[in-house]
Structure 1
Amino acid sequence: MTRSLEFVATDALDILQRHGLDSFEALWQIEAELVDEPNAARGGRSSVGRLELEDANGRSHVFYLKRQANYLIRHLRRPLGQTTAGREFFNIQRFAQLGIPALDAACFGERRQGRYRQALLLTRGLEGYRPLDSWFEDWPTLGYRLQNDLLIAAATLVKRLHNQGIVHNCLYPKHIFLRQRDDGIGARLIDLEKCRAHIFSPWGRMRDLDALNRRSLAPRRTQRLRFMLLYLDKPRVDAEVRYWINRVERRSSKKRMRHEAGGRQS
């Protein structure tokens, strides 16, 4: 593999070589514009930076570079820990195999440096896409047709995820990316590090729908109902639809009350 990287996408190799970024060390050392404050948790550190690289034809390509040191997640299969970048790379590949639209990996690598477990994951920017919370900021100006199309695309994507027995575990509007296309609305998921199988219980799906519901303030009540009908593949409201709506609303209300109570105490 190219200079200690475990994976390099075929369509990214030329541009990385052109900029001398086809090795772990080069990507680890390069200056990248931070898109958020680095996260210091799990006994380690993780940061995400933005890179804009030109190809041989002068066209600009946007990438996002996640770099981590001892930033681990532990689970039954990996009791000694797995880098969250490694977990996300695994899920990106898994989603591609299952036909769940998500972000694309350009390269991935891990190494040990003394007592540090370092990992990096380079993903392509989703050109033309906007996160759902960005669409919500413009919601009153979008018009009913576009609002409806966006909700259909989001509901279809979440349904496809859950139908494969996978839950996102951090399903906020900022993690659903949507784009207008000639043939409709394109939809993709990002931030896959917490995704996992959840086949035998509805509670994982309930958590996803609750998180999305609480963070989605713009859609009207009728639009939320439309989303649930699409998600459950129902032509009209029945007992199952009412059950899911009531459970999600109850869970969301409890979370909001706890959040408000915590805010008053602080």
Structure 2
Amino acid sequence: MTDFLAAEDRALLERHGLGNFDALWAKQLEAVDEPNTARGGWSSVFRLDLEGHGYYLKRQSNYQMRTLHAPFGEPSFSREFRNISRYENLGIPALKAAFYGERKVEGEVRAILLTRALDGWDDLDSLLQRWSELSEAQHSAIMNACGQLARRLHGARQVHGCFYPKHIFLQATGDGYQAQLIDLEKTRPLLFGLRDRVKDLEPLLRRAPQWNEAQLRELLAAYLVQSPDSSLIDTWLVRLTARRSYKGVR
């Protein structure tokens, strides 16, 4: 496939000699965490800063996965890049890609995915850790932003597959928060209606024990475009609680 280089990032990357696959592969950087070696190859993430602009440079070698798109295997970044592009086309707020490319070098399959860093944004997980320090107005704005994000996701007939606090990023605005998603590798089409929607939302609630029922109702009110005391929200709470109990037993 042809390399992707976002028009908005081209000049900056080329100014630093990083506008192509070989240069990005050879760039010496310190990894932000331990390499992942679960698929028989390796995959690693690096921080790249250029003139005040932050990026995450992800490189992998022989880190393959089987998909319907590529039943004999493809780099996991390939699927993630397709999903990033799909989210952008569908208008779902999510991280943006600056570069994507693949190479086969003497039997080795290499892939690079460069994404723009969400500097100035907080992941929901970190906000939950200081939930008691936030005001009621902030709580309400965060619930509303998360509910609206889920509504746009499912309204576009997509299931995130890892709708966890650490994958939801929020930024304060003048009148609330805006939210977007990262880690789109497991995204798939929403095929089974209500079941898929409940299955996608429940892990978020399970990983946010700080939220009380009134706050969950706020989130669902934004998601379903209902008043917080709606009987429809009662039904959703029953379904989500049942699934949470089932997952807890397992």
**Is TM more than 0.5 here?**
yes
1:46 partner amino acid? S
Report what 2:137 is aligned to: 145
Give 1:35-50 correspondences, 5 Å limit.
35-50=32-47
Partner SS state of residue 71, structure 2: strand
**Shift in Å, 1:90:** 1.0
Report what 2:88 is aligned to: 96
Q: How many residues align?
A: 250
Report what 2:20 is aligned to: 23
Q: Does 1:219 align with 2:211?
A: yes
RMSD: 1.7
Give 1:52-91 correspondences, 5 Å limit.
52-54=49-51, 60-91=52-83
**In structure 2, how many angstroms separate the alpha carbons of the residues matched to 1:35 and 1:247?**
39
Q: Deviations over 1:221-245 (max 9, x none)?
A: 2111221222122214444323321
Report what 2:116 is aligned to: 124
8 A contact 1:92–1:103 mirrored in 2: yes
**In structure 1, how many angstroms separate the alpha carbons of the residues matched to 2:76 and 2:204?**
22
TM-score normalised per structure 2: 0.93
**In structure 2, how many angstroms separate the alpha carbons of the residues matched to 1:34 and 1:179?**
26
**Unaligned residue ranges in structure 1 (runs of 5+):** 55-59, 259-266
**Residue among 180, 186, 192 paired with 1:188:** 180
**Shift in Å, 1:25:** 1.5
Partner SS state of residue 66, structure 2: strand
Report what 2:237 is aligned to: 245
**Unaligned residue ranges in structure 2 (runs of 5+):** none
**Shift in Å, 1:192:** 0.7
**In structure 2, how many angstroms separate the alpha carbons of the residues matched to 1:88 and 1:45?**
16
**In structure 2, how many angstroms separate the alpha carbons of the residues matched to 1:101 and 1:62?**
19
Moved more, 211-220 or 241-250: 241-250
Moved more, 110-119 or 180-189: 180-189
Give 1:130-169 correspondences, 5 Å limit.
130-169=122-161
TM-score normalised per structure 1: 0.88
What percentage of aligned pairs have identical amino acids? 44
Q: Deviations over 1:73-111 (max 9, x none)?
A: 222232112222111111111111111111111111011
8 A contact 1:5–1:107 mirrored in 2: no
